[in-house]
Amino acid sequence: MSNIQVKEIYKSYGNTSVIEDISIEIKSKEFITLVGPSGCGKSTLLRIIAGLEQINSGRIYIDQKDVTFVRPSDRNLAMVFQSYALYPHLTVKENMLTPLKLRDLSSFQRFPLIGKYFAKKELEKLDILVSETAEILRLKKLLNRKPGQLSGGQRQRAALGRAMVRKPIAFLMDEPLSNLDAALRVHMRSELSELHKKLGITFIYVTHDQAEALTMSNRMAVMMDGRILQLDEPNKIYSEPNCIKVAEFIGSPKINILPATTDKLGYLSIGNFKSNFKTKIKNTKIFVGFRSENIILNKKTNQFNGSVKHIENLGSDYFLHLKVKSFSDKIIIRIPHSDFTNIKVDSSINFSINLEKILFFDVDGVRFNASYHTFQKKIA
């Protein structure tokens, strides 16, 4: 068991605060993703867990042991960097041996040129560890190459190898896929998920790509402005975001947010459309959100009419960007390939919102449950 606990940490550079009161408990063997726009503090949080950054206040525990002031290498964590940071002058094998040598050999045995003659037994053991890891990552044939002679994906695997060899209690990954091309990135996503299952080690994964977070993780933490806005399973975050910011960040295309009101009896109206959908709240200004797929193209009882401003063809689906009168923002709807017939820019489209799937936010952007039976305002 090796859980990692972060308690009430604050971090600032001069007057600019980067991390504000973050507490998070990472369970053993979990794949957790820290996701957020750039500058939200997710990489800083990862580096704090690694021990590469000092904090202003707070505590970090690994297995209930306080490691706040413990050196990075003594925390037994391994990190995979965005740039891979493979030592360019060493071969893949030497790269993988480096952390092992530093951990297992005395400084005398690491002495240049002559040290290795006094550490034959140890070096043999380390060689076995390296070749085991190379086996798992299919690196065997590349062991004697230098990083410059590897492709992007191979470098990625070599960097993983260097992190894996010393069997750390957790992997910290800082946007490890962002330097790869699109096809390889999708492929590596599934490889990383498989690797996580095979190794049974905690993964802490930082990304700005919500798709990576949704596809790979057991839990994900959505961060913004140095705070964790929501920490939950990916499907929960997608279907029950606790505020507009999270709703807007997760999901592609972006969720549609529209101003709405409820009348004296609690009936909801969105723009000019008065629905017979009854809510628990009365006479209030709110926001409603619905995802692009939660619409119905129905020619009899249409709620809205919009003109097509832009069409995105994704093959299986089409995204239509619509201008609907009474709303300033464009509305994006998703149409399956089969329903797409003769739609052009400036065509007129009639559609309805699936009111069952609608999300309610108060004027401050906090989501609440407004349907008949439960009315409970959640606190972000």
Residue ranges in contact with other proteins by CB under 8 A = 47, 50-52, 71-74, 77-79, 81-90, 98-99, 102-103, 162
* Closest approach of other proteins to the CB of residue 124, in Å: 20
Nearer to other proteins, 33 or 43 (CB): 43
* Closest approach of other proteins to the CB of residue 178, in Å: 13
Scored b (16 or more CB within 10 A) or e, 77-94 reads bbbbebebebeeeebbbb
* Closest approach of other proteins to the CB of residue 306, in Å: 47
Element (H, E) at 159: helix 152-164
Contact 241, 367 (CB under 8 A): yes
* Closest approach of other proteins to the CB of residue 206, in Å: 13
Q: 3-state DSSP: the chain helix, strand, coil percent, rounded to 5? A: 30, 35, 40
Nearer to other proteins, 85 or 184 (CB): 85
Comparing C-alpha atoms, which of 208, 223, 174 is closest to residue 23? Answer: 223
Quote the tokens at residue 135: 């086996």
Nearer to other proteins, 44 or 210 (CB): 44
* Secondary structure of residue 112 in the 3-state scheme: coil
Nearer to other proteins, 28 or 82 (CB): 82
Spatial separation of the C-alpha atoms in residues 369 and 238, rounded to whole Å: 15
* Closest approach of other proteins to the CB of residue 323, in Å: 45
Nearer to other proteins, 166 or 334 (CB): 166
Nearer to other proteins, 87 or 372 (CB): 87
* Closest approach of other proteins to the CB of residue 240, in Å: 36
Nearer to other proteins, 23 or 83 (CB): 83
State the DSSP code for 147: G
Contact 169, 2 (CB under 8 A): yes
Quote the tokens at residue 157: 């695997």
* Closest approach of other proteins to the CB of residue 227, in Å: 24
Q: Mind giving me the DSSP string for 307-373? A: EEEEEEE-SSEEEEEEEETT-SS-EEEEEEGGG--S--TT-EEEEEE-GGG-EEE-TTSBEE--SSS
* Closest approach of other proteins to the CB of residue 130, in Å: 14
* Residue 317 exposure: Cα atoms within 13 Å on the Cβ side: 10
To the nearest 10°, report the CA torsion of 156, 162, 167, 173.
-40
Comparing C-alpha atoms, which of 89, 65, 91 is closest to residue 76? Answer: 65
* Closest approach of other proteins to the CB of residue 98, in Å: 5
Nearer to other proteins, 41 or 51 (CB): 51
Contact 23, 48 (CB under 8 A): no
Quote the tokens at residue 30: 């979990």
Nearer to other proteins, 171 or 287 (CB): 171
